[in-house]
Every structure is written in C-alpha cells, then in structure tokens.
Structure 1
C-alpha cells in the first residue's frame, strides 16, 4: 500500500460523507496494518498529538465563548456596536461586521460568532426590514473575521504544528482582520444603495448611548486586556485563553449577574463535547500525516510544486487554489494538521515567512467555512436563521468578493501579516 492509495481512500471516504476523523484515521490504520507497523504506533501518535501545552487553549477558548454567549456579554457587545453606527443606510449590516470584529477579539472562533451573535443579529435585522437571507449571509460572512483576529484557535493550532511563535502568529492576524472588516463594510455600502437596505428604526439618544457604553465597557475591555497581556509578555497564548475564561466568569457572575449554575453546567457539557470532537480530528490527522510522511508525500509534493515554479508569489497563489478547494471538503483543524507539514517547508524554502504562510492558510480555510459541502458556518447559520442552506448559499455569493480581494492582498503583500509582529518583537 502506498501514499497515493491512502490519499485516494481518504477522498473516497470524504465524498461518501464519512466523518472526517474516520476518513483520515481509517486509511492510515489500514496502511499501518498492511505494512506490519506495530499497532501501538496508532495509540502513541494519537496521544502525542493532543498531549500539547499550546492546545490547552482550544478547550479554554471554546468554554470562554460559550460563557459569553450565555452571560449577557454578547448582547451588550451587539448593542454597543449598534449605538455606534446610528441610522445610516445598511447600519445593521455594518453593525453585524463591527460586532463580529469585537467578538472575535474574545472568542477566537467563527462558529462561536455565528452561534452567539448570530441569533441576536439576524433577529434585529429581520425586525428592521432585512430579508432573512441577507441577514444570514452577512452573519456567516462576517464571522470569518473571528479566526483571523487574535485570539484565534486555528492560529494556535497552526503555530503548534509549524513550530512558530504563537504570539507572533496571533499578532499577524490583526491587520488582515481589519482589512477584511473594511472590505465588508465597503461592500455593504454598495449593496445598501443597490438593494435599498433599510435604516435602523431604533433611535438612540446620547444619554442612551452613554448608558450602553457603560454597560458594555467591561465586555469591551476583554480584547484590550488580552492584547495587553500578549504584547507585554505577561500571558502566553495558552494563558490568554485561561484568563479569558476567568474574566468571562467574573463578568457573568458578579458584573452582569446573568450566569446561573444550571447554565454553567450546560456550558461545561457543550464545551467538553466540542473539545472532544476537535481533539478526535487532531489525533486522527496526526496518524494520517504520519503515514503520508512515511511515504514521503510531503517531499514529493514539494518537488512537484518547486518543479512548477520557485517564485514565492506563484507558489502562494497555487497554495491558495489548493486550500480553497480543500476547504470545501475538509474541516479547518483537520486541513491545518494535514497541510501545514506539507506546505510550510516548501514555502519557507523559497523565502516565505512561516507566519505569513499561517495567515494565508487560515484565511483560505475560513473562506471554506462558507462553501459546501463542508461549510460549517453555512449549516450553523442555516439552523440559526431557520433557512434552507440553498437559500443562504445564494445570498452569500456577493460577500465572497471582499474575502477573495483580502486574500489576494494578504498573499501579495506579506507585510500586512508580518509588519505588526516585527514591529513588536523585531525581525527574526
């Protein structure tokens, strides 16, 4: 059995709708059995892949996001963003983007954004005259900012696999995330005129705006505290996740007083379930990557790519095409675990900064969250908005323009990713 057969079997399983962890793990285990590799290798590889200090941030951020969605933090962030933008045409669509940007500075995950802010945003937009399709499309599209702006679960996993500084990788997402938000807001300005988006019917006096700000201030301080901790070196990325959990608990129990014991227990159960799913994918991807490494697939792919061109821009564009296609059929964490060991050595060999590679990879895979058949944001926003997936897909098409434009700019201009980490920590 060779590496090509393992990849073919994996693709067959994916197309057949087999869960991704099984689709990766089953061909790898079959290879190990056929090649008479000790079966204990499977257990060792799976255990070692998740026995990682940086990966502790994953369950912590999942727990923190669930806490914020239940303890009143999410609603206050939305109300604050709404009070800022007033009654401009398309204001609630703009609020959707701004709220996602603020929330991403706390949760680190796109699905947390859709699941937490989504219901609030979609309900408010529908009440103000937006179609359900438009509200769902903007909610799902703007949630892609979450895993780009720090803190970011995909960036933490990428940094672990690629063996780069987690703090550098997190900071590398700041400028690209702001760029994506800007492009979304410009797109909404255009669509608001063409499609006659309604104005916000809620009138907010200056006194009310001040009260909203005071109420939201503790929540707004969360990303500020996290960034200050990262930049000062007080917290590592893993410690930032733990601090976020503690801060969310303090806000939910003592400040907003909306977090009950029953809700806390339910949140803990949901977080454990989500963490188990992610770690199962990570451990299965580790076995899959192990088998591909034995078969020298990374070096073969590297030779193939370098045979096409040794120009960094050409190789990055080729990487974009591969990852955009891969994002349609693979979950983000699995794709990062499999593709990082393959792509990073090739691109760094031609002089591309691995931190820049991480931003390009995660941005590609975030776009994949909006594309079928494995577009998790599509399916979640479909559930939240109670719309068929087909109608959401049709409505979301215009929002691929700002995402793809941002991807091209981030790809062509590495300084968008590397400028802030280099400014803070100096050039490596």
Structure 2
C-alpha cells in the first residue's frame, strides 16, 4: 500500500509541473522520515553520498565542452567539409548531416545538445539545395539521438552512477552500437532522399574543395579522437579526459576558430553549470529513491518473483522494451533512468542479461523516447528551431522511427554488438 501511494503521489507531482528532482526528493524524504523515522541529518548524508563520486565530476566538463563546440558554430564547418565529397549524389548533403551528427555525438553526450548544434546549420544549408525544411529538421532530430549512445554519453554516466557499473566500460560498449545506429540512419536518409528526389549537385566529388577545407576543420575533428581514443586506450579516465576536452574546446573557439570571446565562454560556463545542477539534483533524488526501494524491498521481491517463475532473458527484454516505449511517451530520458534503473538492473541480472548489454538497451530505449510524442524532446527542439508545428515534425520523423525500432530489435538480439570491444 505504501508503494502504491508513493507512486501515485510522485506521478501527481510530476504531472502538476514539479521538477522530477524535487518530486523525488519530496516523496523519498517523506517516506524515510515519517515511515522509517530516519533523522533528516542522515537523509541529507545519504543524498550527498549519491553525488559524492569522482566519476560524476566529468558531467560539468563534458557539458561545458559540448556547449562550447555548439556555440562556436563548428557544425557548419564539419557539414561543409563532409558535403564536399558526397553532396553530388541524391541525398548526399543529408548523409553528410547524419555523418556530422556522429562527430557531435562524440563531443557533447546529449541528444538535445546535438540537435541544437546541428539544427541551425542544417536548416540553413539543406533547403538551399532542394531539401524540404521538414526533412532537414527530421534528420537532425533523429540523428541527434546518437548523442545518447556514442561516448561521452551522459546517459551512460547516469546509469553507471546509479547502478554502480564502470562508466569507462559503458562508454566503450556504446561505440559499436552507436556506429551501427548511425549507419542504419544514414541508409534510411538516402532512401527517403531518393524517394523524394532530394539533392544531387554536380557529377563527382569535390576533392579539391575537401583538401582546402580539411586544414580548417582538423582542429574540430580531433575532439572525438581525444575523447574516445584516450579512454579506449586506457590513457585517461572519463573524468580526466572531460577536463582535457573542456580545455581543448576553449582553445578551439578562442584561438583557433575565434568564434567566441571570453564573455561568450563565461556565458557558456554559466549555462553549463545550470544544466549540471539540474542533473545533480536528479541524482540526489535518485539516491534517496534507491534507499527507499531498498527498505521497501521492491527490487529484491521482483527479482525473486522472476527467478521463481524462470523467466527467460527474451521474455524479460520483450516486456521491458514494450513497457519503456510506452513510458517514454510520457517521461523524459533522465526521469526514465532515475525511476527505473534501480529496479530493472537487478531484475536483468537475475534472468541472465549482461548488465552492460542491458545498459545499451536502456539507452536505445531512451533514444526512441526522445522521438516519441507527446514528450519527445528532440521533436520540440527542432520544432522551435524551424518554427514547424509539432505534427509536421512527427510526420517527418515517422520513416526514421521504423529504422530506430529495427536498431532496437537488433541490439536486443545480438549482445555481441554491445560487448564486442570489452
């Protein structure tokens, strides 16, 4: 009965507009203080312990680095570079946009940040070459979700900190699935472009133009190598490389490209701090929620039920995927992870699903949620950038949504994609 009342109260608070972090804190503190008579001082200590982790220091640095790269308008630099060699065929510049999204995914770790970085450049460039604005916005919205899978993924940082998985392993596990998703979305982009007759300028690649633009884009292109390469080689931890990435991004925008001044860097730092505080607030609430779940014994009880019922990994994953697709219609990705990860990961381990593989699956489900109305964040972001109504964005994204679901099925069926580099 206590669980039902707590869940109902939490849903009411969230539905009324209370931020998820505050809603979690109110419910968790109430249960711990009044039901279990835990002193407020100890509750505060429990909350602090949930964010007093060395690995979480990387969050503000990665956010700051990604925001600097976006503010520096480097999306157009990368998009023009890739476009010189592939814009000549049908859908070429749209494919260049999909490829550029992989670059920005490997810089900022957020789907919304990817969409914000690429959106203005895409809306400026693609319609000028015969693509519809809706199609350009849809490609950005869909490919922007790669920021959740390709490291440095903030989703993996949250999952790792909540359930205790090594963030470095999660980053490495996301590389192959992220590239696979990018390839599938690239193929879909070409197919839709050809069906609609979009693009096609010239008769051959402009290698001369590529050579001229490459030196100017080299500084930006090195950022993903710095982040992913050093982590995979074991030279730096995610926290260490996040600080290095932030410093490198400052050098790029201030000295190399000179697309920002010190005042702009300061504004970016303030914006990044606000975003970080929001995430840390959610983590504080999730720490208290985990304490409540432990005392209520919900996770242990559900795990025992699964073990007794001899549920197979296939059956478990099928139910989880269907449920999270529906839940993703009403909750954002951070809320899904915070509320469900403490419950689902013990259950996944109990039925024999590798926790790293399950983290990749959950991240893929969050990617789908960012495209699912009525709360699909990427849809709203691109609707605001392009001034297109939301229903137009939904229509544009629909062909790509099928590709997203296909990728989800394949990632579920083949754990080797997630574990190949580990």
Is the alpha carbon distance of 1:121 and 1:47 closer, same or farther for their aligned partners in structure 2, counting shifts above 3 Å? Answer: same
Q: Which residue of 2 aligns with 1:116?
A: 117
Question: Is the 8 Å Cα contact of residues 141 and 378 (structure 2) preserved in structure 1?
Answer: yes
2:257 corresponds to which residue? 256
| Native 8 Å contact 2:162 2:286 kept in 1 | no
* Alpha-carbon displacement from aligned partner over 1:333-358 (angstroms, at most 9, x marks no partner): 23223322211112122222111111
| TM superposition shift of 1:113 | 0.5
Q: Which residue of 1 aligns with 2:320?
A: 319
Instruction: State the match for 2:228 in structure 1.
Output: 227
Q: Which runs of 4+ in 1 moved over 4 A?
A: 200-204, 304-309
- 157-166 or 377-386, which deviates more: 157-166
TM-score (normalizing by structure 2): 0.94
Aligned partner of 1:425 in structure 2 is none
Show the counterpart of 1:375. 376
Give the aligned partner of residue 54 of structure 1.
Answer: 55
Query: Shift of residue 397 of structure 1?
Result: 1.5
**Aligned alpha-carbon RMSD (Å):** 2.1
Paired residues for 1:117-156 under 5 Å: 117-156=118-157
Relative distance call for 1:83 and 1:351 in structure 2 (3 A) is: same
CA offset at residue 203 of structure 1?
Answer: 9.2
* Cα distance in 2, alignment partners of residues 203 and 384 from structure 1: 32
Give 1:3's aligned residue. Answer: 3
CA distance 1:60–1:194, shift in 2 (3 Å): same
- CA 1:112–1:8 in structure 2 vs 1: closer, same or farther (change >3 Å)? same
Give the Cα–Cα distance (whole angstroms) in 2 for the partners of residues 38 and 101 of structure 1.
48
Q: How many residues align?
A: 421
Asked if structure 2 preserves the Cα contact closer than 8 Å seen for 1:14 and 1:329, the reply is: no
Distance 2:309 2:145 in 1: 31
Residue deviations 1:374-423, cap 9 Å, x none?
322122111111222222122212111111111111111000000111xx
Correspondence 1:281 to 2:293: no
Q: Distance in 1 between matches of 2:163 and 2:201?
A: 45
Q: How far did residue 290 of structure 1 move?
A: 2.1
Aligned residue number for residue 22 of structure 2: 22
Q: Indicate the residue corresponding to 1:424 in structure 2.
A: none
TM-score by length of 1: 0.92
Q: Where does structure 2 lack aligned partners over 5 or more consecutive residues?
A: none
Moved more, 54-63 or 332-341: 332-341
Aligned position for 1:218:
219
Q: Distance in 2 between matches of 1:382 and 1:306?
A: 45
Secondary structure of 2:418's counterpart equals helix
Residues of 1 paired with 2:83 and 2:396: CA distance?
A: 23
Helix, strand or coil for the counterpart of 1:25?
Answer: helix
Aligned equivalents of 1:373, 1:283: Cα separation in 2: 27
C-alpha distance in 2, partners of 1:104/1:400? 19
Distance 1:395 1:47 in 2: 44
Which ranges of structure 1 fall in alignment gaps of 5 or more residues? Answer: 422-428
The whole-number CA distance in structure 2 between the counterparts of 1:126 and 1:143 is: 19
